[in-house]
Structure 1
Amino acid sequence: MSDDESEANTIEDGDSVEVQGSSSTYTLSRQGTVYMCSCPAWKNQSAPVDMRTCKHLRGHLGEEAEVKRLGALPSRAASTRSASGKSGPVNKKDTAPPVLLAHKWETEHDPTGWWMSEKLDGIRAYWDGEAFVSRLGNRFFAPDWFVEDLPADTLDGELWVGRKMFQKTTSIVRSGAAGQEWKTVSYVVFDAPNAKGGFEDRIAHAKKVLERSGAPHARPLDHIVCDGFAHLAEELRRVEGLGGEGLMLRRPGSKYEVGRSNSLLKVKTFHDAEARVIGHAPGTGKHKGRLGALICELADGVTFNVGTGFSDAERGAPPSIGSLITFRYQELSNDGVPRFPSYVGERIDADKPSTKAQVAVPAKIAKGTVEPKKVAKPTPPPPADDEPEDEPEAEPDNAEDDQAPAESGSSFKEKLGDVSFSCKLVNQGEGKFWEIEVRGKQHITRFGKIGSQGQMRLTEIGSATACKTDAEKRAMLKRREGYK
């Protein structure tokens, strides 16, 4: 069959068929829910094996069948040919939308005055005015009736069914435009990337265009002003008590920056991460004949089993080998292995597992008395010295969150410039130390048990003045916590 044929065919489980490409013959085969092709384009994809397709599979099975199977086909670049005229892989930087990504909140960071909202357990979706696009550049095919009233403006948000519904949301989005369960999905908007001004101006713009369009399946996300640590802790307990994932903090007046930014922070009691499925452990007892656990691997080779969090249906039809999953965990072992991992769902908006360095122990927020909540009015932007003078360099999607380089102490520190501020504190009662050192636009924090090497983090603020001011504030907060 030629590449241009559009006649739809099927491949039965365990069968294979040969198709004629432009210059070679390729083998199409099926193993369960995984459809494979021997062509280089299929083999070189970074997507999970059950989420891959190619022009030979689309030509044999039919475009409509592939959309129904995958839910989202990769966006096609205008051209994948180099100057020499030879075909080449599409660069994800050319197709992925320019989205803002969050860092993890650290307990020494004062949240007072920041905008606070619930962290939705859905699928990140960038609305480009015509279609939903994942952060990796893959298009999500929603029904026409779902998108017909959405504004032509660019919006950033989540496709969301509800709390503890991540797997259901994933299933619906994968179902493609034909899925009737899209009626249970909401597009919850938390930013308008191309609108002018700080965050307050952008969210006001998003509310205005959504109200004007009258889209019944879209709404803005509610934000309130955080009164401090006690307010943050209380709101986190409330949201998690309702089954929510956690909270997000946004710096007042902040710009929409591409890549990871310290203006957007995520706050959770339990953390989650991504892992690649490399095997299935058979079940025993009541799970005999079904999945017992997923054998998973982080990007840097750490392996572990995920044996809880599955429904009976998921144990009967578990994620395929090669797929990417999200798991939730409580803490790390001494070897850096996630402890008490629990299955959350398959990921269709990510393409690589986390590294061990990205899998961290969740921060604990000190309990306190809750002050009355403020009315959610725009907070004035901070003084100019606290704002970055330059746009921070965008980090890749798999960048470590504020993690210091693996080089030894003095070797990488010397590359950052001279020390403009330093502070070393200890808390004898808790047996802990905390140190901070400012070099140029970056500060290096080291902390841990007295007598140990501790942990080290490197944070870039944006300007030398803002970096020093931030470090001084962190030191002041540590002194309030009993460090001397």
Structure 2
Amino acid sequence: MADLEDGESIEVQGSGSSRYLLRNVGEVYSCTCPAWRNQSHAIDKRTCKHLKALRGEAAELTRVGAPTPGTSSTSATSASRASGGRAAASASSAQAPPLLLANPWDNAQDLSGWWMSEKLDGVRAYWDGKAFISRLGNRYHAPPWFTSGLPDTPLDGELWGGRKRFQRTISIVRRQDQSDHWKEIAFVVFDAPALDAPFEDRVEHLKQLFATQSAPHARAHDHELCRDLPHLRTELSRVEALGGEGLMLRKPGSRYEPGRSITLLKVKSFFDAEALVIDHQAGAGRHAGRLGALLVELPDGTRFSVGTGFSDKERASPPPRGAIVTFRYQELSDAGVPRFPSYVAVRDDIRWPPDNAELRRAVPHPPSDTLAEGGKAARATPGASADTKKNSLDETASTASTESATTTDSSASADGSASADSSASTDSSASTASAGSATPTTSTTPTSAGTPAGTSSQPTTPAASSSTRRFEFTDGTSSKFWEIEVSNRQYTVRYGRLGTTGQSKTKEAASEEAARREAAKLVDEKTGKGYVER
């Protein structure tokens, strides 16, 4: 029978009109069909008729440790052990570990005296004394040399490959072949769940543990006291300027309590959320012949396009229909659509819809400082989009925006050619949707996990359409970006240095057609000055 080499994928025809993608990543075989996605087993224990048809039923049943026809379960287990590790056991019950989970900061609570640390953009991992366990209870197959020296007591931390390497980190830790790629990963420990003591004592315990224990691939995470709000914002800007994700704040004297807690808060300049891939939209211009944008759907049925944040390799082989992806965005529009969404990664460690989708709530923007622009002071307004529509986003994925430099000035020029400073820097990849992509937003019943890929409920109420385009200019002395978004009669320009959040201006035209004409003029001006569309 045919098989897939490590890293290979193949698209197959389903029983109807749908097509599904089969993959092998580090000896973990997956399929995008609903039957594979909806199983409650660990991901390395799942199979489906498409994988059986490709690899052979006997080979698949042996891989997942199930008895083949005419074979006892005992002999099947023996065959599995003899297969060179292909059916290496994961957490048999796939029971989720008792993790302490964070809430987003509400931008109002005084965090003076709280313990502050960098929010690591890696993979959450619970060391149970013998193995690394994911949030869903699946095992990460780290090599013995990686786990050497770790204690036989629980540790809570992050498998981290460095800043801006989230996708690479995921691809390594979900492998089952215990490869040398793990040399790129560190286990950064930020808590000791089994120690019933205040947070300060648990941190001191970790410092002493790794000072005396030989675990070369693990270390305790650094924490410092937050003095006040300016200190918090300064540290956030520093971390994000380095490519970090944000900050975590721990309440002094707090205990480790499984579940979502108000003693652990996350602070970021951009929001994160998860969405379901519904379809692929063809690219144009430099992206002709490959992915232009993903059409994605939120748990509440809201649909929009994500067109930036992809590498050339990801555009050539995009996330399949039915995949769960994380995206980053600046804020919600008045119609409830994420603005300036940017692709982050495929997620294999969460279910759809997210398991805590009921914990949705609005997170208001913080008070903004006065920004100097063009020689005059412009007061940045709190995000007007922090309304009830923001309840549609998963709270685990949503994080507080901390210095949104959004200004509304109907009389000011929307040129924005000058480079602008921003008090909260972030990765320049967190940008906009693809060029000219205009996707109608619909409010529908949430798609269930069992909905075939590429299908959805019909919209009940058409909402506002929006499109966003991004341009960049780089020469020997300057590196700038410029973005424009049209939504109904409004058009918004965002601009600044590459690597910063920049600032934005919004103007309102007499009609949507007029807004698009004005946007086209501004685009012509920018391209005439040497800006290149991305």
Band of TM-score, shorter chain: 0.5 to 0.7
Q: Which residue number corresponds to residue 296 of structure 1?
A: 296
Distance 1:228 1:147 in 2: 38
1:156-171 correspondence to structure 2 within 5 Å: 156-171=156-171
Q: Which residue number corresponds to residue 260 of structure 1?
A: 260
> Is the partner of 1:33 in helix, strand or coil?
strand
User: Is 1:53 aligned to residue 69 of structure 2?
Assistant: no
Q: Does structure 1 conserve the Cα–Cα contact (< 8 Å) formed by 2:125 and 2:134? A: yes
Q: Does structure 2 conserve the Cα–Cα contact (< 8 Å) formed by 1:190 and 1:203? A: yes
Q: Which residue number corresponds to residue 186 of structure 2?
A: 186
Distance 1:226 1:135 in 2: 28
Distance 2:175 2:38 in 1: 25
Q: Which residue number corresponds to residue 249 of structure 1?
A: 249
CA shift in 2, pair 1:307/1:191, >3 Å? same
Q: Which residue number corresponds to residue 226 of structure 1?
A: 226
Q: Deviations over 1:167-204 (max 9, x none)?
A: 11111112334332210101000000001211111122
Distance 2:369 2:186 in 1: 34
Distance 2:261 2:204 in 1: 21
Q: Deviations over 1:346-380 (max 9, x none)?
A: 12222134659848567436559xxxxxxxxxxxx
Q: Does structure 1 conserve the Cα–Cα contact (< 8 Å) formed by 2:190 and 2:221? A: yes
Q: Deviations over 1:58-109 (max 9, x none)?
A: 85245399999999976322xxxxxxxxxxxxxx6xx100000000101210
2:92 corresponds to which of 56, 63, 76: 76
CA shift in 2, pair 1:166/1:70, >3 Å? farther
Q: Deviations over 1:360-404 (max 9, x none)?
A: 567436559xxxxxxxxxxxxxxxxxxxxxxxxxxxxx9757x9x
> Is the partner of 2:255 in helix, strand or coil?
coil
CA shift in 2, pair 1:221/1:352, >3 Å? same
Q: Deviations over 1:217-238 (max 9, x none)?
A: 1011100000011110111111
Q: Does structure 2 conserve the Cα–Cα contact (< 8 Å) formed by 1:291 and 1:316? A: yes
> Is the partner of 1:236 in helix, strand or coil?
helix
Distance 2:89 2:290 in 1: 30
1:110-259 correspondence to structure 2 within 5 Å: 110-259=110-259
Distance 1:59 1:31 in 2: 21
CA shift in 2, pair 1:219/1:68, >3 Å? farther
Distance 1:196 1:122 in 2: 26
CA shift in 2, pair 1:71/1:41, >3 Å? same
Q: Does structure 2 conserve the Cα–Cα contact (< 8 Å) formed by 1:236 and 1:247? A: yes
CA shift in 2, pair 1:36/1:98, >3 Å? closer
Q: Does structure 2 conserve the Cα–Cα contact (< 8 Å) formed by 1:141 and 1:173? A: yes
Q: Deviations over 1:112-137 (max 9, x none)?
A: 10000000000000000111101111
Q: Does structure 1 conserve the Cα–Cα contact (< 8 Å) formed by 2:270 and 2:328? A: yes
Question: Could you list the runs of 5+ residues in structure 1 that have no partner in the other structure?
Answer: 1-7, 18-28, 78-91, 369-397, 404-484
> Is the partner of 2:260 in helix, strand or coil?
strand
Deviation at 1:32, TM superposition (A): 4.5
CA shift in 2, pair 1:70/1:364, >3 Å? farther
1:341-356 correspondence to structure 2 within 5 Å: 341-353=341-353
Deviation at 1:30, TM superposition (A): 6.8
1:340-379 correspondence to structure 2 within 5 Å: 340-353=340-353, 358=360, 363-364=365-366
Q: Deviations over 1:405-430 (max 9, x none)?
A: xxxxxxxxxxxxxxxxxxxxxxxxxx
Q: Does structure 2 conserve the Cα–Cα contact (< 8 Å) formed by 1:199 and 1:253? A: yes
Equivalent pairs: percent with the same residue? 53
Distance 2:44 2:91 in 1: 17
1:10 corresponds to which of 3, 10, 13: 3
Deviation at 1:213, TM superposition (A): 2.3
Q: Does structure 2 conserve the Cα–Cα contact (< 8 Å) formed by 1:199 and 1:254? A: yes
Give, as a single letter, the amino acid of the residue that structure 2 aligns with 1:75.
A
User: Is 1:279 aligned to residue 279 of structure 2?
Assistant: yes
Task: Tell me the TM-score normalized by structure 2.
Answer: 0.57
Give, as a single letter, the amino acid of the residue that structure 2 aligns with 1:201.
D
C-alpha RMSD over aligned residues: 3.9
Distance 1:360 1:72 in 2: 43
Paired positions, count: 340
Give, as a single letter, the amino acid of the residue that structure 1 aligns with 2:128.
D
> Is the partner of 2:247 in helix, strand or coil?
strand
Distance 1:233 1:180 in 2: 38
Q: Deviations over 1:129-155 (max 9, x none)?
A: 111101111111111111122111100
Q: Does structure 1 conserve the Cα–Cα contact (< 8 Å) formed by 2:98 and 2:259? A: yes
Distance 1:46 1:302 in 2: 26
CA shift in 2, pair 1:174/1:331, >3 Å? same
Distance 1:312 1:68 in 2: 35
